[in-house]
Amino acid sequence: MANKFTGIGSESKQLATWYFTFAAILFGAQLLFGLVAAIQYVMPGFLFEVVDFNVARMIHINALVVWMVFAMFGSVYYLLPDETGIETIGIKIGKLLYWIFVAAIVVVVLVYLLVQVGPATETTIWFINEGREYIEAPRWADWGIVVVALGFVANLWLTGMKGNRSGIVTVLMADMIAFAGLYLAGMFFTDSIVMDQYWWWWVIHLWVEATWEVFVGAIAAYGLITMIGASRKVVEMWLWIEVAMLFGSGILGIGHHYFWIGTPEYWWEIGALFSALEPLPLVAMFIHVMYDWGKQQGKQNASGESVSVINNKPAFLWFWMNAFGNFLGAGIWGFFHTLPQVNLYTHGTQFTSAHGHLAFFGAYATILIGMMYIAVQGKNGIKILKHTKSSIWAVSMIVGGVMGMTIALTIAGYVQVLVSRAQMGATWAGYFDGQQGVWFAQAMDWRLLMGVITFLGFVFLVKDLLSTGKNPVHER
């Protein structure tokens, strides 16, 4: 049943490829500015007062969030015709909104780069940057994003209500409306830094540790049906279990951000146990992928044919990386520092950064790259998409590079916790004592090297995504 729709002739799938293309461009920007920031840790004079760390880092994390949102929208536009059995409704408006979104992002990034900071006025918040990590986009762009997101959600809902509403589509409909709605919590100004941070986490946490994770569950379900022909009934049952576990632990797991920002002590307990359970659904997702793969392959082997059941090798590899990387990066690295007793010392150190790198990569980048490969397969009408040299190099170098960065940052985090926090009591002088530690400095060298490897892997990835569709090795 796999690959019923080739994707040729579907406007929704065409729009999906547009979304994926711009997502890949922003992914490149994310890596480039990440490299600038990484170089500045090693050579502080690099681009000083030209593109300072705050600017490079802002573009690094904003490009990250936005490329993922683009690839998520693309993924939904890609799977909708397959799931609902009809062409996406409102696709013309979808295409228009795409161009508005792209134009807005380009303007925002240019202003970040060329204007950077402004005077302490509301005008700066509206037109230059909002200065709040991850959602720095100025207020005018916030409203633009709201309009685009509403259009996207409307298309999804109208299509879901008219066509066949599968379990996957139902989950996506509920999830995407929460995803879009939560953005509103990050769109106001307050004089109180405590209030500011409280609501800021509603956007950041409830995105990446709740709604985005559920999105990944839905995409993984779609991928297993498409790539290895897994049983929809089984896959959708897993999906509901994952939704229950992800939202059950993730929504109140927000408490682990409310330990030290001025909020009451009772958040210690709520944050500790709910977030300690957050890795469970991630384990479940990994088992789910392995189980379905083994089951389908076993069925195939029993029927006397020992060929692989996978019809898209690179996509499946990226999905597998997602199942494992989500567990490792979000689950293990997150659990490392989620208990308040530990977090008192690790909060605001490179530990967080190590977790951030592996979690965003493992939980989201991997599966979205996998979706890009599925789109390449569909767009070119390929029956079985095989690995190429570039696809192998891409996955090895990107995964190796990100793991390397994560380990380096974890070691840097240890130095910071022990020297700057435990020994020196977290002062300005203590901070720099930690930064000067030999282990810290070496970790930053390694991080830069691993970042370069990741970037080279990205070059292979782009080359492969652009060329593999025409490669004669695939079965058509």
Partner 1 sequence: MANKSVWSDNRFWQRSAAWVTGFAAVLLIWLTFDTMGQISMGTDADLQSGVTKRVPGPTVINYKISYEMSTKRGLEVPVIGEKEKFFGRDDYSEKEARALLHLGKLGSQAKNCMNCHTLLGNGAYYAPDLTKAWLDPAWQDGGTMQAMTGKSTKEEAMAEFLQHPSTYPTHSRMMPNLGITAEEAKGLVAFLKHMSSIDTNGFPRNFGRMQGAVNGK
Partner 2 sequence: MFEQFTDVVPSFFGWLNQGPMTLTIFLHTIIVLPMIWIYKQEKARLEQEG
d(C-alpha 36, C-alpha 40), whole Å: 6
Q: Which stretch binds partner 2 (CB under 8 A): 115-123, 175-183, 267-275, 374-382?
A: 267-275
113 or 277: CB nearest partner 2: 277
CA dihedral 258, 122, 61, 47 (to 10 degrees): -130
Nearest to 375 by CA among 175, 172, 82, 176: 82
Give residues with Cβ within 8 angstroms of 49, minimum separation 6: none
Q: Which residue among 25, 35, 407, 426 contacts partner 1 (CB under 8 A)? A: 426
Picked from partner 1, partner 2, none, the partner binding residue 58 (CB below 5 to 8 A depending on kind) is: partner 1
End-to-end CA, the chain: 16
Structure tokens at 416: 């910071």
13 or 60: CB nearest partner 1: 60
d(C-alpha 410, C-alpha 443), whole Å: 9
124 binds partner 1 (CB under 8 A): yes
Q: Which residue among 22, 101, 274, 333 contacts partner 2 (CB under 8 A)? A: 274
Nearest to 72 by CA among 465, 372, 318: 372
338 neighbors 272 (Cβ within 8 angstroms): yes
Picked from partner 1, partner 2, none, the partner binding residue 300 (CB below 5 to 8 A depending on kind) is: none
103 binds partner 1 (CB under 8 A): no
Site for partner 2 in 235-254 (CB under 8 A): 248, 252
358 binds partner 1 (CB under 8 A): no
d(C-alpha 109, C-alpha 22), whole Å: 14
What is the smallest separation between the CB atom of 192 and partner 2, expressed in angstroms?
A: 16
251 binds partner 1 (CB under 8 A): yes
269 neighbors 201 (Cβ within 8 angstroms): no
Q: Which residue among 153, 272, 385, 394 contacts partner 2 (CB under 8 A)? A: 272
Picked from partner 1, partner 2, none, the partner binding residue 269 (CB below 5 to 8 A depending on kind) is: partner 2
269 binds partner 2 (CB under 8 A): yes
16 neighbors 375 (Cβ within 8 angstroms): yes
273 binds partner 2 (CB under 8 A): yes
Site string for partner 2, 195-234 (x = CB under 8 A): ----------------------------------------
Give residues with Cβ within 8 angstroms of 181, minimum separation 6: none
Q: Which stretch binds partner 1 (CB under 8 A): 41-49, 74-82, 331-339, 360-368?
A: 41-49
What is the smallest separation between the CB atom of 411 and partner 2, expressed in angstroms?
A: 32
111 binds partner 2 (CB under 8 A): no
Site for partner 1 in 140-169 (CB under 8 A): 167
266 binds partner 2 (CB under 8 A): yes
49 binds partner 1 (CB under 8 A): yes
What is the smallest separation between the CB atom of 130 and partner 1, expressed in angstroms?
A: 6
348 binds partner 1 (CB under 8 A): yes
48 binds partner 2 (CB under 8 A): no
128 binds partner 2 (CB under 8 A): no
Q: Please say whether the dihedral angle defined by the alpha carbons of residues 193, 199, 204 and 210, taken in this order, is positive or negative.
A: positive
Tell me the C-alpha to C-alpha distance, in Å, between residue 309 and each of 202, 217, 236.
41, 21, 20
* Eight-class DSSP state of 384: B
Picked from partner 2, partner 1, none, the partner binding residue 335 (CB below 5 to 8 A depending on kind) is: none
Decide: residue 233, CB within 10 A, 0-12 exposed, 13-18 middle, 19+ buried: exposed
85 or 248: CB nearest partner 2: 248
Can you spell out the DSSP letters for 12-26?
A: HHHHHHHHHHHHHHH
196 neighbors 186 (Cβ within 8 angstroms): no
Cβ-based neighbour number of residue 304 at 10 Å: 6
Query: What single letter denotes the amino acid at residue 198?
Result: Y
* Eight-class DSSP state of 424: T
344 binds partner 1 (CB under 8 A): yes
261 binds partner 1 (CB under 8 A): yes
150 or 270: CB nearest partner 2: 270
122 or 475: CB nearest partner 1: 122
Structure tokens at 202: 């509603």
Residue numbers of the site for partner 2 (CB under 8 A)?
Answer: 248, 252, 264-266, 269-270, 272-274
